[in-house]
Amino acid sequence: MTILFVSSGFVGAEENQNLNNNVTYKNICGYCHDTGIGPEITGRKLPVEYTTYIVRHGFRAMPAFPETHVDKDALITVAKFIEAAPPLAERQAATSKE
């Protein structure tokens, strides 16, 4: 399985960057962590270092994702999103208002 990450190219466009991070999160992490398969990881302020370690090494039922599956830049970007993102219920409420 190969995952391709495409940058928006809009440096400094915070709203656009948050949207892209959310899409990356939703496509990779949210598949398990927003559906009850894995624990909810947003809204917990998990440090970037913790998230990147767990992603690379795995933890309990979560498999490791090597750099061939998630590149370093994409991993750091999504880890920053996870650290700052509100809990799932708040993200869903914000999405339903749009």
Q: Which residues are the active-site residues?
A: 61-62
Q: What global pTM score does this model have?
A: 0.75
Dump pLDDT digits (tens) for 65-98: 999 988 999 899 999 999 999 998 888 888 777 6
More confident: 39 or 27: 39
Give the residue carrying structure tokens 């933890």: 59
Tens of pLDDT, residues 17-28: 565 667 778 888
How far apart are the C-alpha atoms of 96 and 90, rounded to whole Å? 10
Find, among 46, 52, 57, 50, the residue nearest to 74 by Cα: 52
